[in-house]
Structure 1
């Protein structure tokens, strides 16, 4: 028995590790393709890109783990079935359930570990990746001079070079326009050559200019013609121009600004934020009537004359049929204007409160969804293993051919159901708990069915068995019609 358990464990662990890293690599490539425009041309250091990929790889585990579990389980039992090792195990009197028991324990351990990962590590990873990705996307592209084209990326300057050296550090025939100077005049600098380099702290770019002239034209404070305006011209052999490049440096945002997002919270924090947001929502709903009740007016002044006693001694108030009969003529216009004012106020208050109610409700739904996601990762690993293991034992095909196709099909079904249901839950169309668990609820009967078929040695994907069943059905159908025809002939 122990040798069988070791055989099954060895057959599963290697494909699981290989498929996990393959899936992780594919997901990281998709992540890079998604944010490639935010990474190219900004001059990031290699460690910034590596840090971003590290956080992204940890965030992708929630998708890579179930897919690797499904694919590796299909490959494992497909290989065992193709090499007739499952047949040998069953011939030795060992049931499929007993042979899979250590593997079930291992998968259960992985599922529990994924739960703790999603509760303790994943929120921190999402926080660090979210803040870093925000800084990466908001960083300006590197300052780049193109031949013959003005560059206005540096605030207050427009720079053009007719051509440059191959390494881009020496610029020729420079024109520099300076805008927004205090004197509101024109400042133009021309130079035959300029050597470009950065300061030690990389906050400034320095241009060492040679053989040039600077033109400055100042006015008295307005842009109208002034005969007393000054015009100055400086010739120089060599000078330096310093440009502030601090806007091109990546500045790290405080991570506390993102810490209240639903993806950055663990179970305890999610429960706390859900309860506090729910209390705030209840408080807003409770204050609505108190804010608008003073705008509801009852015309008690004109009701006393319409009281009519009933036969049992009690009295009731009978209201006139028309609005004109209740309010005197000289006060109707004022009453209408006051009513319109009160109605507009009530409408504005209700619209404002409705928007706040919707925002708080959406926030609560996001917290509930993230709370349930902590559990669905572990449940999805167990579910996809319960689908993949019996499916591999049924199809009895190993390698990366049919198992990969079957794994992709079932994972796409799981992913589509999960995505559509989660989107519907976020929009408030269905209950958020039901939306998150929808894929697992739908596919659990399939896993039970496949497990039963694998335990009973059902030839679920055997084409010959289906051909035999169809042939048997048509033969029975033909015999039925022949019998019916013979009875009709005998009756005649």
Structure 2
């Protein structure tokens, strides 16, 4: 039996590793496509790109691992069934649950590992990738000087190049406006040709100019800055070669402070989420109580001494509003109605604004609970998908990457749509976080139990030949009945 278990594990681990990396590669390509606009043209080094992909891979594991489990179990059992190895095991008196025992144990270990990964590793990687993505988005675009267009990426300068040789990098008709001293375009440099290259550390841009002139307006510092109405004299300098060094500020990656993101619900483990949710719930309940007291004392009963007493004697008050109102003079009646309408409008406005604030805080608390349940749904999804893929592979008996991939993708799309819908409803407070996060697993779990039962009883529910034979028998029965009707004698 140990030899059989080793054989089954060996048949399963290979497809599991292969499908996991294939799935991870596809999801990484989707991630790059999503953030391609934020990454391209920023001059990021390979170390930054590799770090970003590493953290993104960790964040995509909750989607890749269940799909890999489903596809690997389906392929393994399909291969065993297609090669009649599964039939030989059953002929030897080994039941399907006993065949799946080593895979079930391995899936339990994978599920437990997935839980610890979600609780301990995923918050850390979420913090890192949030900080890195924010830093990349704030990064200035890579300094690329285009032909015929002013480049303003260098702080304090505007540069325009007539044309550029793509082979040698030689630029012609270079025009540089210097407004680094916040004095508009008082200094202009023009060169017939030249080269511009950044230093190795990307901190400076060295411009080597040939055959040009520099023009600078001469201002009188004794006069106000913007009092010049007449034309100003200019200094002209001619040069055969001139080197200008520009300081490149903001082109290196400035990493943001991680403390700005550490309080996010995505960067917390279960203990931190429970503590944060408890604090938020207490603060919310306190605010609800304060709101109700404010409405009672400031809107419904404007008298601040209403309902107060100095002892424990029960106070009963009876107030006939109509009788009290009828005792007022006409002028005071109008004044009382106007004040009542004013109080009602004020109360309505206060209730409306408080309602939006309460709804936002409830959604924020729900986000923490959703993240809390997500730690468990990843582990449970691996378990559910195994009990869908393994019996389904034993039933269809098709291996390879053809039929298993189609069926796996179909089931995963169904799971993903239900999961996304449930999470969205939970975020909008239509459902509780528990229902929203677990509904996808609870829907697919009965399907896994049903397929496991059918596979154990050698059902042909997924066998195409079974349905073809049923259709043939149906058509054969219809044809026979029609002929019998035509040949039978007619009765008067």
TM-score by length of 1: 0.87
Paired residue for 1:3? 3
Distance 2:390 2:141 in 1: 50
Give the SS at the match of 2:322: coil
Distance 2:70 2:317 in 1: 77
Deviates more, 1:351-360 or 1:374-383: 351-360
Checking the alignment, whether the CA contact within 8 Å between 2:178 and 2:185 is kept in structure 1 is: no
CA distances 1:312-363 after superposition (whole Å, capped 9, x unpaired): xx9954333796x454344456545544554444344333322321221111
Paired residue for 1:274? 277
Checking the alignment, whether the CA contact within 8 Å between 2:299 and 2:344 is kept in structure 1 is: no
Distance 2:227 2:196 in 1: 37
Distance 2:412 2:201 in 1: 50
Checking the alignment, whether the CA contact within 8 Å between 1:28 and 1:53 is kept in structure 2 is: yes
Where structure 1 has 5 or more consecutive residues not aligned to the other structure, the ranges are 301-313
Deviates more, 1:122-131 or 1:207-216: 207-216
Distance 2:389 2:453 in 1: 13
C-alpha distance 74-144 of structure 1, shift in aligned 2 (>3 A): same
Distance 2:94 2:2 in 1: 11
Paired residue for 1:416? 417
C-alpha distance 239-463 of structure 1, shift in aligned 2 (>3 A): closer
Is 1:234 the counterpart of 2:237? The answer is yes
C-alpha distance 426-284 of structure 1, shift in aligned 2 (>3 A): same
Paired residue for 2:163? 163
Q: 2:286 aligns with which of 283, 286, 290?
A: 283
Distance 1:342 1:156 in 2: 57
Paired residue for 2:309? none
Paired residue for 2:449? 448
CA distances 1:166-216 after superposition (whole Å, capped 9, x unpaired): 367543221112347444563322122333233565333232333332223
Q: CA deviation at 1:295?
A: 3.1
CA distances 1:210-257 after superposition (whole Å, capped 9, x unpaired): 333222334744656534845333334444434332122221001111
Give the SS at the match of 2:177: strand
Give the SS at the match of 2:93: coil
Distance 2:9 2:318 in 1: 85
Checking the alignment, whether the CA contact within 8 Å between 2:155 and 2:180 is kept in structure 1 is: no
C-alpha distance 475-234 of structure 1, shift in aligned 2 (>3 A): closer
Q: CA deviation at 1:429?
A: 1.2
Distance 2:242 2:324 in 1: 90
Paired residue for 1:369? 370
Q: 2:250 aligns with which of 247, 250, 254?
A: 247
Please list, as runs of the form range in 1=range in 2, the aligned pairs for 1:128-139 lying within 5 A after superposition: 128-139=128-139
Q: CA deviation at 1:276?
A: 0.8
Checking the alignment, whether the CA contact within 8 Å between 2:426 and 2:433 is kept in structure 1 is: yes
C-alpha distance 332-194 of structure 1, shift in aligned 2 (>3 A): farther
Paired residue for 2:197? 197
Paired residue for 2:110? 110
Deviates more, 1:145-154 or 1:408-417: 145-154
Distance 2:426 2:366 in 1: 8
When the two chains are superposed, the root-mean-square deviation of aligned CA atoms in Å is 3.3
Deviates more, 1:53-62 or 1:282-291: 282-291
C-alpha distance 464-296 of structure 1, shift in aligned 2 (>3 A): closer
Q: CA deviation at 1:113?
A: 0.6
Checking the alignment, whether the CA contact within 8 Å between 1:81 and 1:393 is kept in structure 2 is: yes
Where structure 2 has 5 or more consecutive residues not aligned to the other structure, the ranges are 304-315
Distance 1:326 1:139 in 2: 74
TM-score by length of 2: 0.87
Please list, as runs of the form range in 1=range in 2, the aligned pairs for 1:43-122 lying within 5 A after superposition: 43-122=43-122
C-alpha distance 71-292 of structure 1, shift in aligned 2 (>3 A): same
Please list, as runs of the form range in 1=range in 2, the aligned pairs for 1:184-223 lying within 5 A after superposition: 184=184, 186-199=186-199, 201-217=201-217, 218=219, 220-221=223-224, 223=226
Paired residue for 1:308? none
Give the SS at the match of 2:30: helix
Paired residue for 1:429? 430
Checking the alignment, whether the CA contact within 8 Å between 1:284 and 1:353 is kept in structure 2 is: no
Checking the alignment, whether the CA contact within 8 Å between 1:4 and 1:89 is kept in structure 2 is: no
C-alpha distance 286-225 of structure 1, shift in aligned 2 (>3 A): same
Checking the alignment, whether the CA contact within 8 Å between 1:184 and 1:222 is kept in structure 2 is: no
Distance 1:326 1:236 in 2: 100
Checking the alignment, whether the CA contact within 8 Å between 1:183 and 1:221 is kept in structure 2 is: no
Distance 1:76 1:414 in 2: 21
Distance 1:182 1:3 in 2: 81
Checking the alignment, whether the CA contact within 8 Å between 2:154 and 2:249 is kept in structure 1 is: no
Checking the alignment, whether the CA contact within 8 Å between 2:202 and 2:251 is kept in structure 1 is: no
C-alpha distance 231-455 of structure 1, shift in aligned 2 (>3 A): same
Q: CA deviation at 1:369?
A: 0.7
Paired residue for 1:320? 322
Name the count of aligned residue pairs.
477
C-alpha distance 339-168 of structure 1, shift in aligned 2 (>3 A): farther
Give the SS at the match of 1:213: strand
